[in-house]
Structure 1
Amino acid sequence: MSRVTNNAKAGFKKVSHVIFDMDGLLLDTEGVYKKIIGGIAASFGKKYSPELRSKLLGRQEIDTSKLAVKELALPINWEQFFEMFRTESNKLLTNCPLLPGAEQLVKHLHKNNIPIAVATSSCKESFDLKTQNHKHFFNLFHHTVTGGSDPEVGSGKPSPDIFLVCASRFPDKPKPYDCLVLEDAPNGVTAAVSAGMQCVMVPDKETSPEKCQHATLILPSLTDLKPELFGLPAIK
């Protein structure tokens, strides 16, 4: 069941552009990340809790490494954590499938000439690794901003930088209020709302409801999104 939050009491506003997060929204990667970080934590006798996972979702890899080491009180520095994280990621992230509704929605928007882009916290190397089996799908997007390595993205999510940079790279440079963001992570929703954009959230099942309240609309899956709510062509 979809849920409208307080941000949408005045009704949804028409948009012209759509910006997608990637991990946990388009690609089913979050389970892999949970396994990787949980494994690193366990190797030091620590437990990777749902609360910490919620804090890390959507962040850049370096920010994730720093926060994980601090919150878990690990006896290593963030650079060592980052190296362990990247080594395991390179092994496990090459065959992640698309999540339900992602392909249908993206193809629909592309067919109807709605400008679409990806704004991911991943670095370019990680993005290439995760999307190598989905190149045709990701070629449907006008552009991709890889926040983990893009010099114009000063701060990662929950800062709004990545979404503002992403919007600026459309040829017609839409205003923030003309953009709809699709996200799965609380940090990503915070970034989108801070950028002045509406945000549809498809939260992870472990994300607590109170972490979702700032989203414009909450949905269980991308298959439940009705683009016409935001003035976009309906899926027939």
Structure 2
Amino acid sequence: MRVSKTVARRILRALERLHPGADTELRYATPFELLTATILSAQCTDARVNEVTPALFRRYPDASALARARPETIERLIRTTGFFRSKTRALLGMAGALVKRHGGDVPPSMDDLVGLPGVGRKTANVVLGHAFGIPGFPVDRHVLRVTRRLGLIATDDPVAAETALCRLLPRTKWTVASDSFILHGRRICRPRPLCDRCGARSDCAYAANPTMVERDGRQAAGHR
């Protein structure tokens, strides 16, 4: 099922009403803090990340400080976020690259951001959209699940999904659309969805034919 831009925008309006003021749930004060927190959020809840970042940011308030950190100290501070050794390597690599290439500042550029260790398109889009106000469309597992069920996409590939969603929705709405889909996936359109609470149900492909959407999703995953 492919929907029109009109339907896609109607769906987004419904989700914006359902999740007013949708925004990232990560807590940060600077672009560097948001970049760090987003790296830590991989395979971890935002709530858990928010528990560990205050101590991390107090100790390492900027890229220069983090680049000089001892790995074992970072590991101790972020252990509860999971995959703490690989995340420590990513944080040290990211901080070192910021100092070496950008004078310690987080660059407001997709190409520069994805050139940093541990930073992919999703993380870069989060930073661009929230720290710099540059429209971006972060795609995580919630965005994939929600938008596939709604019939907005027919892929499990994050880059293909980002491209498709950016074509459907206005550029000025990309960041808030991603935030709305993420919150919807966490609160309502869960792996076991609470369809009776969904304001977009009348336009939802899954609500009309759950078996078909789930089958198509499995087929898409098999062709990645």
Task: Tell me, yes or no, whether TM beats 0.5.
Answer: no
Higher relative contact order structure (alpha carbons within 8 Å, sequence separation ≥ 6): 1
TM-score normalised to the size of structure 1?
Answer: 0.29
More strand by share: 1
More helix by share: 2
